[in-house]
Amino acid sequence: MKSRWYKDAVIYQIYPRSFCDGNGDGVGDIRGIISKLDYLQDLGVNAVWLSPCYKSPNDDNGYDISDYRDIMDEFGTLDDWQEMIDGMHARGIKLIMDLVVNHSSDEHEWFKQSRSSKDNPYRDYYFWRKGRGKDGKKPPNNWRGNFLGSAWDYDETTGEWYMHLFSKKQPDLHWDNPKVRQEVIDICNYWFDKGVDGFRCDVITYISKNQGLKDGKNPFNPLRGVENYCLGENWEKYIAEVNRESWSKYDSLIVGECAGINYEQAKQIADETKPVLDTLFNFEHMFVDFVGKFKLSRFKKIVARYQRMPSTVWTSNYLENHDQPRCIPRYVDGDEEYRKYGATMLATVNMMLRGTPYIYQGQEIGMTSCPLEEDEYKDIMSVNVIKMLNKHKIIKKLGMKILSKKARDNARTPMQWSGEKYAGFSTAEPWMKVNPNYVDVNAEKDRASEFSVFEYYKDLIAKRKQVSHILADGEWQEYYEKSNQVWVFSRKLGDAYVYVEANYGKELVEIDDRYTMDTTDAELLVCNYKYCEANVHIHTLRPYEARVYVKK
């Protein structure tokens, strides 16, 4: 029976390769995570979402899995993993594993068998098609991969093409084959039986491809074909099957990474009255600054829409993860004068929205995006973009500028634990560059400072739990909707309410209760400035100031 425990939870994402190195080889691992469990408990999070730690050749940093039932050698052993989850549970922390089943690695035994011959029993575990043209050397359709280039790769062994919506080393699993669906069910139950509390389902909206695999319609869409593989015709049927045979049997959280969907689709695929996902990550708010600068009014409009979701639909709130750059300086100024105020203001807003809030490792100390040289990018997408730019040098300068701001690498630099060499992440040179600001921005220094981002997060998490019922069930109201500097909103439940004000700029701004909400009967729950007048009819918000008023 589902208790929906995640509605009151705050979840912390760990990207294991970059979190903490426990054996001194420069790569984060499970022993490193074990060494930081007290840190997570002190922060007050209820669950950890652990990015993939399964066996993998690491073409896409673990999102290409060669064995779903074992641990990557670089990360440790199954015994290490068991000690980690036992330690989490002993501290009241649940574990959410990454479930990557739209595709596997081409080094998985299934694919090795599948490519060996056309009549192999595993052939239909993947998508194989004859090529177009007289010699069959043209891809079966015009679909493009998410990492640039065709979504098809030619295999000499059998003279056919296989589909890969991501890297060519990540062949797509053929979910129309009931044996594949049973494999997924068995994988889920295997980890549930070991104590896992749920799954974050990677690109889960792509698992069902429409019959015929027709050409993509929009020639200007770099992901041509997405309309044929995002929420394909059998998507809900397949998800319901896995839900029935696995997910629904456990008090779990199933959160889907739902690329390519819109608001109306979100309402359908994360409705708790249906056998689908418990909740989802949407991407609409992540694209408001894809081209050009961040504009708060556009961001607010998208988020507000999801905040008005039906009561049976639950969302996930995030500003950072392993696929997004750091929110500093993405949304606020990165100068040290403002960094902590910006970090805590953003934390305040994220924690006071309806839905489950996520914290990405380092966000709780105000880590920032990292300046990288061309040869320092590690992510497969970034490497492919650079290769493309080197072929079109007329746009390279602009392309590299965009990459520096948007690349996934920004969030994958090693966690900054201290001011020691390599930021206390490892005793050896890390697999990826450490952000040069680690001497000033690190967990040890932050927690010892008078104004600690970590301690603010800790207090904020505790305070959120006091009002989570109002955030979950209260009616949403927004003020100053067209402002590009302030975000002001409330949740009201009967006579109780939560009222939030946040300044997204470095300029002072006046807030007038006559145009918002009268908070004279409320208490000040939290403020990210040391001195904050509690109840003033007309008051001024300082740079990146955030306030939350509550009437319980």
In the residue annotation, 335 being an active-site residue is answered as no
Cα-based distances in Å from 161 to 104, 129, 437: 16, 5, 46
C-alpha 429/C-alpha 25 separation (Å) is 8
How many angstroms separate the Cα of 466 from the Cα of each of 130, 141, 550?
A: 59, 54, 10
**Which among 60, 74, 106, 202 is annotated as catalytic?**
202
- Model confidence at 536, pLDDT cuts 50, 70, 90, reads low
Helices (H), 153-282: 178-193, 226-229, 235-245, 263-269
pLDDT digits (tens, 9 = 90+) for 63-119: 999 999 999 999 999 999 999 999 999 999 999 999 999 999 999 999 999 999 999
Integer Cα distance of 521 and 17 in angstroms: 48
Query: Two tokens at 127?
Result: 């998508």
pLDDT tens figures, 446-491: 999 999 999 999 999 999 999 999 999 999 999 999 999 999 999 9
pLDDT for the residue 219: 78
Q: 353: helix, coil or strand?
A: coil
Average pLDDT score over residue span 41-57: 98
| Averaged pLDDT for residues 416-422 | 97
pLDDT at 534: 65
- Give whole-number Cα distances, 548 to 99, 168, 498, 509, in Å: 36, 48, 7, 16
Give me the pLDDT at residue 220, please: 76
pLDDT at 512: 85
Q: Domains, the chain, ranges and CATH?
A: 5-104+178-373+413-448 (3.20.20.80), 105-172 (3.90.400.10), 374-406 (no CATH), 474-551 (2.60.40.1180)
Q: What is the mean pLDDT of residues 211-228?
A: 88
Higher model confidence: residue 532 or residue 98? 98
Which one is predicted more confidently, 399 or 367? 367
Nearest to 198 by CA among 326, 32, 356, 415: 356
Q: What does the pLDDT read at residue 197?
A: 98
pLDDT at 538: 65
Minimum mean pLDDT among 152-156, 191-195, 414-418, 530-534: which range? 530-534
Q: What is the residue type of 320?
A: E
Q: E strand or H helix at 511, and its extent?
A: strand 509-512
Q: Above 70 in pLDDT, residue 492? A: yes
Active site residue 67: no
57: number of Cβ within 10 Å: 15
Q: Residue 331 has what pLDDT?
A: 95
Tokens of 357: 């809030």
Q: Of the residues 257, 323, 379, 409, which is catalytic?
A: 257
Q: Which residue has the tokens 């575990």?
A: 125
Is residue 535 pLDDT above 70, yes or no?
Answer: no
Q: Are strands 160-163 and 253-257 parallel, antiparallel or unpaired?
A: unpaired
User: What is the model's pLDDT at position 386?
Assistant: 93
Q: Residues 371-389: what's their mean pLDDT?
A: 93
For the CA atoms of 64, 66, 72, 77, the dihedral, rounded to the nearest 10 degrees, stands at 150
Q: Is pLDDT of 1 > 90? A: no
pTM for the full model?
0.96
Cβ–Cβ under 8 Å, residues 491 and 482? no
Beta strands across the sheet bearing 160-163: 128-129, 160-163, 152-155
Per-residue pLDDT averaged across 140-145, rounded? 95
Judged against a pLDDT cut of 90, whether residue 304 lies above it is answered with yes
Angle formed at CA 99 by CA 98 and CA 105, multiple of 5 degrees: 105
User: Residue ranges of the alpha helices (H) in 66-200?
Assistant: 78-90, 109-114, 178-193
* Type and span of the H or E element at 549: strand 546-551
Neighbours of 489 (CB within 10 A): 24
| Mean pLDDT along residues 383-409 | 91
Which two structure tokens, joined as six digits, stand for 460? 């904020």
- Joined together, the tokens standing for residue 218 give 């929009």
329 to 218, 294, 408, 411: CA distances (angstroms) = 34, 10, 14, 12
Report pLDDT for 532. Answer: 80
Dihedrals phi, psi of 540, to nearest 5 degrees: -110, 130
Question: For 151-173, how does the pLDDT look when each residue is reduced to its tens digit (9 = 90+)?
Answer: 999 999 999 999 999 999 999 99
- Residue 490 to residue 101: CA distance in whole angstroms: 39
The pLDDT value given to residue 189: 98
Mean pLDDT rounded to a whole number for the chain: 95
The predicted-structure confidence for 238-285, as pLDDT tens digits, reads as follows 999 999 999 999 999 999 999 999 999 999 999 999 999 999 999 999
Buried residues in 526-540 as b, exposed as e (16+ CB within 10 A): bbbbeebeeeeeebe
CA distance readout (Å), 412 to 62, 353, 434: 13, 26, 9
